[in-house]
Structure 1
């Protein structure tokens, strides 16, 4: 279904890029890179609250995206369709961060997404100054003729939305 992608139809689709998991390390060449971070509070309790929100798609929803997912909590293999405006963007969770001071998940694009790449949504606790940071890391390139045509605009939108993601926490 084009206008309203069915979650049930996503499970058999392959990811659209070969560098699966690359947001966990050096980002691959040949893509636009995004790194966005913001201080969102202090203390272990704030970190736990922010981590729970991120894992329940809170960064996305808080930024104004509509989210339909196969799970309430992001888990490896969860499929999700994120819609900002009229365009659905199907993705699959490719890894989860479950470290004591760093939590979140990364998802990768599936066929039908206007971009190709991966995005990490996370929160990090820094015990040296008791600070909590929301973070987004991504690599992407255009995946459709119309996203290539609108290249400068889609790149600007990605930067703006990344700022909205971290502010949502």
Structure 2
């Protein structure tokens, strides 16, 4: 039997969802550029975990693309000082204006909660990337780090946006 997600509010980061109380909340939005080609390119890099790998985290997954039920292992850090963060994709979206997914923490993850990566094409043709998350410590180490964890999470979200913008430059 595979382990269950480590929190009950599954899917709260999905478009239209409401982030639950009792967690730290994160929303970071980055303008990537404009045009459908850039939107499609960015969405593909998010769904295939290419953005995550380009940011510098190690990613292994049960499948090449994000889909509900796909297990993902994110390695934060390097080698012996790295921390494994097991997750499961809980939702995906791919329509005319949104491409992305959200994954939730599994037992053994240093945090407890959910994180989403969403590319959107607005009515003016602008392409936006948003990282949305809710989390709380899931391990003694993240409890001990206390106020530093949200700083690292925000820096990671900003880096994802910058990297995705560079990855899709010239696409729109």
TM-score where L is the length of structure 1: 0.90
Cα contact 1:105–1:121 (8 A) shared by 2: yes
Q: Distance in 2 between matches of 1:35 and 1:139?
A: 9
Give the structure 2 partner of residue 70 of structure 1.
Answer: 62
The 10-residue stretch of structure 1 (152-161 or 48-57) with the greater mean CA deviation from structure 2? 152-161
Displacement after TM superposition at 1:59 (Å): 2.8
> Within 5 Å, which residues of 2 pair with 1:120-131?
120-128=116-124, 130-131=125-126
Moved over 6 A (4+): none
Give the structure 2 partner of residue 14 of structure 1.
Answer: 4
TM-score where L is the length of structure 2: 0.89
1:48 is the counterpart of 2:44: no
User: How many residue pairs were aligned?
Assistant: 158
Give the structure 2 partner of residue 135 of structure 1.
Answer: 130
Residues 117-151 of structure 1, C-alpha deviation per residue, up to 9 Å, x if partnerless? 000111000132x1101110000000011110111
Give the structure 2 partner of residue 4 of structure 1.
Answer: none
Q: Distance in 2 between matches of 1:16 and 1:67?
A: 20
Residues 6-54 of structure 1, C-alpha deviation per residue, up to 9 Å, x if partnerless? xxxxx70100000000012110000000001111111011101111111
1:108 is the counterpart of 2:104: yes
Q: Distance in 2 between matches of 1:155 and 1:42?
A: 30
- What RMSD over aligned residues (CA atoms) do the two structures have, in Å? 1.0
Identify which of 34, 50, 69 aligns with 1:58: 50
